[in-house]
Amino acid sequence: MTEDASSAPLPVGSHLDPLAQSRGFMGGGQFPAGPSGAGIIPDDQWKVGSNSFAKAGVVFGVLAIPLGLMQVIGYFFALGFAGIAIVLGGIGLVRAQRLPANAGRYIAVLAVLLGVGVLVWKIIEGVGPAVVVPA
């Protein structure tokens, strides 16, 4: 009894194997390795430069500037984004104390300064459009 080549089982990972094709694997050989298990253990330490709150605060502070240039509604956008920048920068300052070498402290200070600067700018400017007085 000779086995016919068409009835022989397909090797695992074969490009003709329907199971392999259903998983989207078209190469030959072994399937790629899955996610690692217990070998990755968090060290409960902050990584240097991972002060995401400070970075987000700078982004909100920078976005508040062009939003503040819009007429009327820009006033509210700028105040909101400046407030968020101040809050995120403050959280970033607190978190910078936990990071090695106070990483992200200057970014957090920049976020707070941008927020305060936009806040003062928009309060001084007011809500309405600028009044042009002919000289």
Average pLDDT over residues 121-129: 78
Does residue 131 fall inside a structural domain?
Answer: no
Nearest-angstrom CA–CA distance, 127 and 76: 8
3-state SS of the chain is: CCCCCCCCCCCCCCCCCHHHHHCCCCCCCCCCCCCCCCCCCCCCCCCCCCCHHHHHHHHHHHHHHHHHCCCCHHHHHHHHHHHHHHHHHHHHHHHHCCCHHHCCHHHHHHHHHHHHHHHHHHHHHCCCCCCCCCC
Residue 78: predicted pLDDT: 92
Residue 65: predicted pLDDT: 92
Does residue 26 fall inside a structural domain?
Answer: no
Domain count along the chain: 1
Residue 46: predicted pLDDT: 47
Does residue 19 fall inside a structural domain?
Answer: no
Does residue 107 fall inside a structural domain?
Answer: yes
- pLDDT above 90 coverage of the chain, percent: 35
pTM summary value: 0.59
Residue 119: predicted pLDDT: 92
Residue 79: predicted pLDDT: 92
Residue 40: predicted pLDDT: 47
pLDDT greater than 80 at residue 129 = no
pLDDT greater than 60 at residue 32 = no
Q: pLDDT-derived band of residue 96, with 50, 70 and 90 as boundaries?
A: confident
Does residue 6 fall inside a structural domain?
Answer: no
Dihedral angle over CA of 5, 9, 15, 17, nearest 10:
130
pLDDT greater than 70 at residue 2 = no
Q: Select the more confidently predicted residue: 63 or 14.
A: 63
Q: Which two tokens stand for residue 3?
A: 């086995």
Cβ–Cβ < 8 Å for 93, 57: no
Range of the domain at 88: 52-125
